[in-house]
Amino acid sequence: MKLSSNKTYILPSLFGLGMIAVTFLVFIIAITFGHPFSYFITFFLVSIIVVCAFSTNSAITKLKTFHFHDTFLECDNEEMVYVSISNREFNGPMSVHAISDMSVSERITFITKNNSKLRFSLKSDHCGISKLSRLKIYTKYPLGIFKAWKYVDSNKKVIVYPKRVKGKNIQQEFNFRNGVDQESSYNIETKDEFLEHRKFRDTDSWKHIDWKAFARGRGLLTKNFSGQESSALTLEVDRNDDLTYLGVITDELFRCYSSSIETIFLVNGDVLSRGTNKNHLYKCLRALASLGAKSE
């Protein structure tokens, strides 16, 4: 994205203030004693200060094109975020900093022709979807005498999904969530272990329908047992789920994604997405972020 405003700001750094003070002191000495060498040192220091002021301001002014992406963060976890810069917009290697209102620590990025990505870390303790806060991009290139900066706005989002809850059995959590009796975790006829629910299909046997779930108004759901083949794992959430259950679903979603296991993601009984790719993962994480914000 191009900057709507290219306004830059510049001030001396602490090192720069010290150098200006030394230059002023040398100038006073030169006037008082009229020593030619003092005039030369004064002229030399002033030249360095002026050149650095123009160089620092020019370096930050030339950075105009930034490429943002939607950022996915796990709640309460610090994540690294990258912003690409057009590598045609700077003259040479320089150190550039990026910080935002959500930043928890500052990262220094050394920009070159082969590395044109700013990096900074974000952290949030609340689930939800919000706009990426304004970034402050600044540099002290080349000698650190001056600090020049500008502000960059983005229209991209920060999606904060529930913190992953590991080590819990997803089927036990599902049974607890829906009030399913534990004795129903086995097929009475074959003693196969109950795995999950999924939407009823016309080819399914009626004897595998969960009639208790149907009586609760959840529609026709088929029970999958360990002796049955299932092409996809069904993960179901709704607006009344707490953060613990959403965290279990989040962990299972990532586990399936890393193992290339197809998942069917249901929200309030409707299929939101089905697949194994990253687009499917991100679509599900957006839904979990919204539900997590409601349950907090």
pLDDT tens sequence across 55-76: 888 888 888 777 888 888 888 8
* Type of residue found at 113: K
- Mean predicted confidence (pLDDT) in 24-44: 86
CA separation for the pair 273, 287 (Å, rounded): 10
Say what the pLDDT of residue 2 is: 45
Topology of 1-161 in CATH? Immunoglobulin-like (2.60.40)
Give the H/E segment covering residue 293: helix 278-295
Say what the pLDDT of residue 256 is: 86
Neighbour order of strands in the sheet with 79-85:
66-67, 79-85, 117-122, 103-105
Please state the φ and ψ torsions of residue 42, each to the nearest 5 degrees: -60, -50
Tens of pLDDT, residue by residue over 7-21, are 889 999 999 999 999
The CA dihedral of 57, 60, 61, 62, to the nearest 10 degrees, is 130
Work out the end-to-end distance of the chain between its first and last CA atoms, rounded to an integer number of angstroms.
34
CA separation for the pair 44, 22 (Å, rounded): 12
Domain boundaries, the chain: 1-161, 170-295
Q: What angle do CA 66, 69, 71 make, to 5 degrees?
A: 130
CA separation for the pair 79, 257 (Å, rounded): 19
